[in-house]
Structure 1
Amino acid sequence: MATETLVETFKNLIDGQWVESASGETFASTNPANAAEIVGRFQASAEEDVNRAIEAAQRAFPAWRETAPSKRADILYKAADWLEAGLERFAEELTREEGKTLAASRMEVKRSAQTLRYYASEGMNVAGETLPSDDPETFVYTRREPLGVVTVITPWNFPLSIPARKIAPALVTGNTVVFKPASDTPLIACRLVQALHGAGMPAGVINFVTGSASKTGTPLVTHPAVKAVTFTGSTGAGEKINRSVRLSTRVQLELGGKNPLIVMDDADVEQAAELAVKGGFELTGQACTGTSRVIVMDSVHDRFVEALVARTRALIIGSGLRKGVDVGPLANESQLRNVLDYVDIGKSEGAELAFGGERLTEGEHAAGYYVRPAIFTGVTPNMRIAQEEIFGPVISVIRAGTFQEAMAIANDVEYGLSAAICTADMNAARRFIAGIESGVVKVNRPTTGNAVNAPFGGVKMSSTATYRESGRGALDFYTQIKTVYHGMQG
């Protein structure tokens, strides 16, 4: 039974006021390392609450779009300072709520502050262009203008950095926002909103509602005032959003991945194993860019598997709050069941479970959602564990005889988010870069991780492949172009 002692109840932010949901009902956010511990209680919002938030954002939009860019930027700078000032507190809250290690949580808080500052700076450079005109009496130019109300729907695996990289460019370009975080991680999402609100954001510019997608999702994507929807999550949920939005609503979807790492016969096997462990097992495998398939040349296969198992065996599994832990719990019971089900599927398909895959239930692991990272060998490309996103610490090792075969295997999935190769051969690297069907490509680097100032997104079923997140290009999603022909009178 979950413990309720001294549990704080958090409210929605609508039109500048912290308010309860219309129903007054709440839900608990719990610690995946100790499911009996409640981190906080949050509003169980419904459509009525979302509609109020959207209407508040709509009312706030005219004044916010006219606010000087420097003033919008100043709020983002102040919010970044507030996050950094509370680094240790927020990192601990993030770990208690999501499960990742404190080191990973600290990095996420720092990165989120960096993102706010990056877009505060970039927002000062949003501009149109002047164009040559055949008519000397006509001045032709373009303006970049905000869209209006943007809804931001985010996942639980990066519950601070993903919202920051969506909300910051939306706000700095003059849009207003309705933000609904994942119900597994509403606390750290609330801290981001508190940072923005406390930094002086006008009422209605940023609105925050918590609750289940089944009760809040419809107006977030179908309300007539919503001009754009940005979503990161499962491919199934993204497809549903894409089918639901109005024709005039802009959509940005970042979805699943089944990301490969190719290990060439000239690769440093120890380095390749380290890249696989970092990409596949850090964050407990719960990253859309996580390494889930390692495609290895025959000549180095056995040595690679030996190195991979040795490194995985050495990982320390436990609460992310404990010093020295490498792998924390899965985020919730559903994730745990999903991973264990896929381990059973892999075994039933004939793959060999070379290491791990079992639930940990003794000692400190008894109260949490822990599983030992799993390594499958003897995997063929058509197996479900080689085709479907597991979103957990499971790596499938697949043999390949040639570079061409490895590339064919790597591309033979419906996803195309991130891909990597480990090789000393620059020609092989160039061929990989040109031929891989992926939005993010890494050479001798893990499939995970992206720079704040670099575009991020996938191809195929990993994304709508329209607008990228991160970097300067992210501003394009939140602005529309108006073309002006300005003639002279007289």
Structure 2
Amino acid sequence: MTIDTQKKAITLKNYVNGEWRTSTSVEIYDVINPATQEVIGHASYSTKEETEEAIQAAKEAFESGVWSQKTTHERSAILLAIAAKIDERAEELATLETLNNGKIKTEATYDIADAANCFRYYAGMILQPDGQTYHAPDNVQALIVKEPVGVAGLIVPWNFPLLMSVWKIAPALAAGNTIVFKPSEVTPMTAMKLFEILEEAGLPKGVANMVMGHGAIVGQTISESKHVDIVSFTGSTQVGREIMRAAAGNLKKISLELGGKSPNIIFADADFEAAVDYGLFGIFYGSGQVCSAGSRILVEETIYDAYVERFVERANQIKVGPGLDETSNMGAIVSEKQLNRILDYIEIGKNEGAKLVAGGKRLTENGLDQGFFIAPTVFADVTNDMRIVREEIFGPVVTIQKFATEQEAIRLANDSDYGLAGGVFSNDGAKALRVIKQIRAGITWVNDYHPTYVEAPWGGYKQSGIGRSLGTYGLEDFQEVKQINIRLNVEPNGWFPS
């Protein structure tokens, strides 16, 4: 990687078999800062052949045992070295993440710290006892062991560029796999820095490979390849379906963390200000570009009007601006394409008859005209048949609707194709637990919203995906389970006559 000190634009390269390679593709694209549209990097749309070279490098490295046959202590030491180097570069990484993604730097700083902790977690986990023995019916010692899957294809989105990369890379490497990694073409900057760190930490050649480019070429090639043994993808449900079809060629394992349209249920007996505060945090954190965002707020009818009024008052106080401005509370939308998608949905909501009570427009005043900024947007008086209630918008747009009874709240919450996340706010502990247990979602909170822990599994029900990241489940995604049966009395069994 080289840096132009005048324009500060980084030239992005692929990393294959331990080498930084310039793509042979003539298709070059600009990587921009969404707060200013300033060009901060240049990258190539890599070819199918270049992707296949990366896959082959990963395959040969896995088969050689240069990584998979290292002891867990050796792998753990390298994972810890990676974590330490992330900590050393935390300021640089957080700044670069903010410049490329548009989020405020406070959010990026937390992401970088979480990334380092993820490597530490898996470095420790693989040193713990695992496997099983079982009681065989005769004189056999029976074991169950876990082994790496092989070559892991990892494809990540643009909303948490570094953290989502680490959520896949750390457990994949911890389990002993080799990897072929594709960052989002929109936000590849910190991925480059991460692979510099992997190299510096001493990963053997061919173990970690990265290819820039289009999902339709690089992602498709990874998903279809017979030499890739698992593909792990985070992104939209539509692309998840395409990956699932492509992966069927060699029946490879798949792990898919997809879309969400998550409900946040507010009961009248909840702490009112806390419910408003977490409602705001649930949707406007990350400019709403979060798969688990609480984009559907359901409020008990007796406090509905008061809640909407207070929520709108607070939403209008959110200062939107560049991520590096310390006074900004919410940053830019990641790209012009995503900006236009969100604005289209706002128009859809208006046309469907939803009541726009806050925001609903692009912000161009006070020096924001060069960036992709949208005001925090709130729709009230919505119904479940509206597109803005049913479809993932992936932006700072929230719908608020009322319910009368506990059962109606549960019915409305579960009336969705998605099942990623959900929240319940109530001071009645029994009711809160009763309701949260009936919400069809994989990640849930009571009197809270959004905290994520590396120790806990992350993933959803229904069309929100297959498999889980993080925790022990995240490691198991990248492992195969094998039974080993050892006969202790070695002698003929006499099954057939001699």
Tell me the TM-score normalised to structure 1 length.
0.97
Structure 2 Cα separation of the partners of residues 4 and 230 of structure 1: 38
CA distance in 2, matches of 1:42, 1:140: 52
2:40 corresponding residue in structure 1 = 39
Change (3 A) 1:126 1:341: farther
**Match of 1:125, SS?**
coil
Q: 1:221 aligns with which of 220, 223, 226?
A: 223
* Displacement of 1:4: 8.4
Offset, 1:75: 1.2
SS at match of 1:358: coil
Secondary structure, aligned partner of 2:273: helix
Alignment of 1:93-132 (within 5 A): 93-125=96-128, 127-132=130-135
Residues 269-418 of structure 1 aligned to structure 2 (within 5 Å): 269-418=272-421
1:53-202 equivalence runs, <5 A = 53-62=54-63, 63=65, 64-125=67-128, 127-135=130-138, 137-202=139-204
Residues in 2 aligned to 1:306 and 1:205: alpha-carbon distance in whole angstroms: 54
Letter in structure 2 aligned against 1:235: T
Partner Cα distance (1:125, 1:358) in 2? 52
C-alpha distance in structure 1 between counterparts of 2:393 and 2:329, whole Å: 20
Distance 2:234 2:332 in 1: 22
Distance 1:6 1:325 in 2: 23
SS in structure 2 at match of 1:60: helix
Inter-partner Cα distance in structure 1 for 2:10 and 2:436: 49
2:27 and 2:335 map into 1 onto residues whose CA distance is 22
The Cα of 1:156 is off from its aligned counterpart by 0.5
Q: Any idea what SS the aligned residue of 1:316 has?
A: coil
Cα distance between partner residues in 1 of 2:6 and 2:129: 48
1:468 counterpart residue number: 468
Q: Is the 8 A contact 1:80 1:195 kept in 2?
A: no
Q: What does residue 235 of structure 1 align with? A: 237
Q: Find the aligned partners of 1:281 and 1:375 in 2 and give their Cα distance.
A: 11
- In 2, the alpha carbon distance for the partners of 1:484 and 1:8 equals 50
Instruction: Map 1:452-467; keep pairs closer than 5 Å.
Output: 452-464=454-466, 467=467
CA distance in 2, matches of 1:25, 1:19: 15
- CA–CA separation in structure 2 for the residues paired with 1:126 and 1:361: 57
Tell me if structure 1 keeps the 8 A contact 2:165–2:191. Answer: yes
Query: Does structure 2 conserve the Cα–Cα contact (< 8 Å) formed by 1:4 and 1:38?
Result: no
Looking at structure 2, the residues matched to 17 and 143 of structure 1 have their Cα atoms a distance apart, in angstroms, of 34
Residue 125 of structure 1 deviates from its aligned partner by 2.7
| Alpha-carbon offset, residue 248 of structure 1 | 2.7
Give the corresponding residue for 1:429. 432
User: Counterpart of 1:65 in 2: which secondary structure?
Assistant: coil
- 1:478 is matched with 478
Alpha carbons 1:14, 1:207 under 8 Å: kept: yes
Question: How far 1:24 sits from its partner (Å)?
Answer: 5.2
What is the Cα deviation at residue 6 of structure 1? 4.3
Q: Which amino acid aligns with 1:307?
A: R
Measure the CA separation in 2 of the matches of 1:40 and 1:4.
Answer: 13
Counterpart in the other structure of 2:25: 23
Displacement of 1:25 in angstroms is 4.2
> The residue matched to 2:9 in structure 1 has which SS?
coil
User: Quick one: distance in 2 between partners of 1:430 and 1:182?
Assistant: 38
Asked whether the 8 Å contact 2:443–2:460 carries over to 1, the reply is: yes
Equivalent runs, 1:6-17 vs 2, <5 Å: 6-17=8-19
Shift in Å at residue 22 of structure 1? 2.5
SS at match of 1:160: helix
Deviation at residue 8 of structure 1 after TM alignment: 2.4
Give per-residue Cα distances to partners, 1:138-184, cap 9 Å, x unaligned.
11111211111000000010111111011111111110000001011
Q: Does 420-429 or 3-12 show the bigger shift? A: 3-12
> Aligned partner of 1:85: which letter?
E
Q: Give the SS at the match of 1:256.
A: coil
- Residues 269 and 303 in structure 1, CA contact (< 8 A), matched pair in contact too: no
- 1:304, 1:289 → 2: CA distance? 22
Q: Which residue of 2 aligns with 1:48?
A: 49
Distance across 2 between alignment mates of 1:126 and 1:232: 30
1:217 Cα deviation after fit: 2.2
Q: 1:253 aligns with which of 252, 256, 259?
A: 256
Question: What amino acid maps onto 1:142 in structure 2?
Answer: I
Task: Please state how far the C-alpha of 1:191 moved relative to its aligned partner.
Answer: 1.4
What runs of 5+ residues in structure 2 fail to find an aligned partner?
Answer: 492-498
Map Cα deviations across residues 3-51 of structure 1 (whole Å, 9 max, x no partner): 983422121100000001132543221000011x111112321111110
Shift of 1:70: 1.1
What secondary structure, in the 3-state scheme, does the structure 1 residue paired with 2:356 have? strand
Show structure 1 runs of 5+ residues with no match.
Answer: none
Q: Please say if 1:441 is aligned against 2:447.
A: no
> Given residue 371 of structure 2, which amino acid in structure 1 is its aligned partner?
G
Moved more, 20-29 or 296-305: 20-29
* C-alpha deviation, 1:477, in angstroms: 0.9
**8 Å Cα contact 1:259-1:291 kept in structure 2:** yes
Q: Matched residues in 2 for 1:142 and 1:14: separation?
A: 34
Letter in 2 for 1:83: I
Kindly provide the CA deviation profile for residues 209-257 of structure 1, in whole angstroms up to 9, marking residues without a partner as x.
1111122122210111100000000000001111111243000000000
In structure 2, give the amino acid aligned to 1:90: L
